[in-house]
Amino acid sequence: MIYTTQMDAAKKGFTTKEMEIVAKKENMDLELLKKLMSQGKIVIPANKNHKSLDPEGVGEGLKTKINVNLGISKDCYDIDEEMKKVQLALDMKAEAIMDLSSFGKTKEFRQRLVTCSSAMIGTVPIYDAVGFYDKELKDITAKEFLDVVEKHAKDGVDFVTIHAGINLETANVFKRNKRLMNIVSRGGSLLYAWMELNNKENPFYEYFDELLDICEKYDLTLSLGDACRPGCISDSTDACQIKELMTLGELALRAWARNVQVIIEGPGHMALNEIKANMLLEKKLCHGAPFYVLGPIVTDIAPGYDHITSAIGGALAASCGADFLCYVTPAEHLRLPMLEDVKEGIIAAKIAAHAGDIAKNIPGARGWDNEMAKARQELDWEKTFQLSIDPEKARRYRKESTPEHENSCTMCGKMCAVRNMNKIMQGKDINILREDN
Q: Please state the residue numbers annotated as binding site for substrate.
A: 69, 98, 127, 163, 185-187, 226-229, 265, 292
Three-state secondary structure readout of the chain: CCCCCHHHHHHHCCCCHHHHHHHHHHCCCHHHHHHHHHCCCEECCCCCCCCCCCCCCEECCCCCEEEEEECCCCCCCCHHHHHHHHHHHHHCCCCEEEECCCCCCCHHHHHHHHHHCCCEEEECHHHHHHHHHCCCHHHCCHHHHHHHHHHHHHHCCCEEEECCCCCHHHHHHHHHCCCCCCCCCHHHHHHHHHHHHHCCCCHHHHCHHHHHHHHHHHCCEEEECCCCCCCCHHHCCCHHHHHHHHHHHHHHHHHHHCCCCEEEEECCECCHHHHHHHHHHHHHHCCCCCEEEECCECCCCCCCCHHHHHHHHHHHHHHCCCCEEECCCCCCCCCCCCHHHHHHHHHHHHHHHHHHHHHCCCCCHHHHHHHHHHHHHCCCHHHHHHHCCCHHHHHHHHHHCCCCCCCCCCCCHHHCHHHHHHHHHCCCCCCCCCCCC
**Binding-site entries for [4Fe-4S] cluster:** 409, 412, 416
Binding-site members are 69, 98, 127, 163, 185-187, 226-229, 265, 269, 292, 333, 409, 412, 416
Residues at the annotated binding site for Zn(2+)?
A: 269, 333
